[in-house]
Amino acid sequence: MENIEQLRKVATRAGKLLTSLSESIRQQKEELKLTEFYQEYSKAALYKLPKLSKGSVEYAVAEMEASGYIFKKKPSGNTMKYAMTIQNVIDLYFHRKVPKYRDRFDKAFTIFVCNLKGGGSKTVSTASLSHAFRAHPQLLFEDLRILAIDFDPQASLTMFLSHE
């Protein structure tokens, strides 16, 4: 019984520490304006993505803007250039009715990363895989939803990712 109480105390302290670290990281990201993924696409860059062409992008963007959709833009000299986020690109694929992974397959794809040796870069590998599956230009049309479960008591993966 005493061991269980000690375990609960350790768990409570670990939870408080993780919350404190997460809050600190969140504040730093807000201060540096790094709350969103940095990669942006020009309209011309979309022409090279899978299942898109110049004509299809131009037509879809015009249709979406006509219906009230607002794409991210940033100033470039005297004009505004498109600076599309990953979500903008995914929305464009959705508008074009490109089927997503979950529309074509009824089961999730599972990857389990493990290594019994400590320091075997499991956390970095898992974070890199998670990020790549979500943000790789060749996979954007799939609109993959990634769930990374961190069983590490140090919560390293939680700190790498959004940790919210």
Sorted by where each begins, the domain ranges of the chain are 1-35, 43-97, 99-164
CATH: 3.40.50.2000, 1.10.1660.30, 1.20.120.1760, 1.10.3470.10. Which one for 43-97?
1.10.1660.30
8 Å CB contact between 73 and 81: yes
3-class SS string, the chain = CHHHHHHHHHHHHHHHHHHHHHHHHHHHHHHCCCCCCCCCECHHHHCCCCCCCHHHHHHHHHHHHHCCCCCCEEEECCEEEECECHHHHHHHHHHCCCCCHHHHCCCCCCCCCCCCCCCCCHHHHHHHHHHHHHHCHHHHHHCCCCCCCCCCCCCHHHHHCCCC
Encode pLDDT of 51-80 as tens digits.
Answer: 999 999 999 999 999 999 999 998 988 999
Radius of gyration (C-alpha) of the chain in whole angstroms: 21
Structure tokens at 83: 């600076």
Q: What's the pTM?
A: 0.76
Banded model confidence at residue 42, pLDDT cuts 50, 70, 90: very high
Structure tokens at 117: 């040796």
The whole-angstrom separation of Cα 74 and Cα 43 is 12
As a whole number, the mean pLDDT across the chain is 87
Nearest to 108, CA basis, from 162, 158, 144: 144
Dihedral of CA 54/60/66/68: which sign? negative
Encode pLDDT of 121-132 as tens digits.
Answer: 888 888 899 889
- Maximum average pLDDT range among 59-73, 105-119, 138-152: 59-73
More reliable by pLDDT, 25 or 94: 94
